[in-house]
Structure 1
Amino acid sequence: MDPPGFTASLVAGGVAGVSVDLILFPLDTIKTRLQSPQGFNKAGGFRGIYAGIPSAAIGSFPNASAFFITYEYVKWFLHADSSSYLMPVKHMLAASAGEVVACLIRVPSEVVKQRAQVSASSRTFQIFSHILYQEGIRGLYRGYTSTVLREIPFSLVQFPLWESLKALWSWRQDRMVDSWQSAVCGAFAGGFAAMVTTPLDVAKTRIMLAKIICRCLPSNGSHQSGRFHLSWCL
Structure 2
Amino acid sequence: MNNAKDFRNSLIAGGSAGTMVDVILFPIDTLKTRLQSHHGFTQSGGFRGIYSGLASAALGSAPTAAVFFSTYEVIKTAFHSTDKQSLAPVVHMIAASVGEVTACLLRVPVEVVKQRTQTKHSSTSFNAFRKTVATEGFLGLYRGYISTISREIPFAFIQFPLWEYFKVLWSRESGVPITAWQSGICGALAGGIAAGITTPLDVAKTRIMLAEKSSKIAQGSILYTLRQIRLQRGIKGLFAGVVPRVIWISIGGAIFLGVYEEVKIILNSQTWNV
Q: Same fold (TM over 0.5)?
A: yes
Give, in whole Å, the separation in 1 of the partners of 2:39 and 2:121: 13
Aligned to 1:225: 219
Q: Is the 8 A contact 1:25 1:53 kept in 2?
A: yes
The Cα of 1:95 is off from its aligned counterpart by: 0.2
Aligned to 1:153: 154
Q: Is the 8 A contact 1:158 1:193 kept in 2?
A: yes
Moved more, 119-128 or 12-21: 119-128
- Aligned-residue RMSD, C-alpha: 1.7
* Amino acid aligned to 1:140: L
The Cα of 1:77 is off from its aligned counterpart by: 1.4
Deviations 1:206-230 (A, max 9, x none): 000012xx7xxxxx51785112545
Give, in whole Å, the separation in 1 of the partners of 2:172 and 2:67: 31
Count how many residue pairs are aligned between Structure 1 and Structure 2: 226
User: 5+ residue gaps in structure 2?
Assistant: 231-274
- Name the % identity: 56
The Cα of 1:120 is off from its aligned counterpart by: 6.9
Q: Which runs of 4+ in 1 moved over 3 A?
A: 80-83, 228-231
1:175-194 aligned at under 5 Å gives the runs 175-194=176-195
Higher RCO (CA-CA < 8 Å; seq separation 6+): 2
Q: Is the 8 A contact 1:80 1:86 kept in 2?
A: no
Aligned to 1:217: none
Give, in whole Å, the separation in 2 of the partners of 1:142 and 1:195: 24
Go from structure 1 to structure 2 and tell me whether the alpha carbon gap of 1:156 and 1:171 turns closer, same or farther (over 3 Å shift): same
Give, in whole Å, the separation in 1 of the partners of 2:25 and 2:217: 33
Deviations 1:159-201 (A, max 9, x none): 0000000000001111100111111100000000000100000
Give, in whole Å, the separation in 2 of the partners of 1:53 and 1:155: 24
Go from structure 1 to structure 2 and tell me whether the alpha carbon gap of 1:120 and 1:135 turns closer, same or farther (over 3 Å shift): closer
Q: Is the 8 A contact 1:206 1:233 kept in 2?
A: no
Q: Is the 8 A contact 2:122 2:128 kept in 1?
A: no
Aligned to 2:199: 198
* Amino acid aligned to 1:160: P
Give, in whole Å, the separation in 2 of the partners of 1:31 and 1:171: 37
SS of the residue corresponding to residue 39 of structure 1 reads coil
Give, in whole Å, the separation in 1 of the partners of 2:199 and 2:193: 10
